[in-house]
Amino acid sequence: AFEAAYMDIYAKNFRYPFGNDAVDVSVGDKWSYFKDSIRVYINMGSPPSLISSKSSYTFKKVKKKRGKKIAIIERQDSTMMEAYVVVDFLGERRLIAGQATGTTEMIFRWDIDAGKMLKVRVVSNLVGDFEMDEKKFPMKVFIRNIYKRLD
């Protein structure tokens, strides 16, 4: 988490956090968004990796909680990643490189009146072929994160 905040590696779009087509949407609406070759850094010291994804959004519902109107928006991604990760084994830095594909599912809780993200739940499953020290190997990556605004 510190590395992500320090390096600012999360893609952000403050004007259209749910894609450019998410204007005047209503409960039940669906829309798509495509991102191509977005540069991300897996960890500090690693070269940039590239991610492309096609996202499908669904505006599920609006609920009231503590006087706030909260939009529940779901997103499913089909993701392709060209990954480069520097790892440290007993003081020796090595590069793991490869390609992976998979899915990511996200649930957003958005404060409609304040225009702020309250909570994001993310589950990613990627599978791919990687190489380190001229040896090839398959790898599965499972990531589960919850981001919550604290005010």
Give the pLDDT confidence of 52-98 residue by residue, as tens digits.
999 999 999 999 998 999 999 999 999 999 999 999 989 999 999 99
Q: Comparing 15 with 49, which gets the higher pLDDT?
A: 49
The average pLDDT across 112-128 equals 92
Name the one residue in this structure whose structure tokens are 């404060």. Answer: 111
For the entire predicted model, the pTM comes to 0.78
CB 64 within 8 A of CB 106: no
Q: What angle do CA 106, 111, 116 make, to 5 degrees?
A: 80
Whether residue 127 is predicted with pLDDT greater than 90 in this model: the reply is yes
Mean pLDDT of 133-148: 93
Q: Residue 84, exposed/middle/buried by CB under 10 A (0-12, 13-18, 19+)?
A: middle
Residue 6, pLDDT above cutoff 70: no
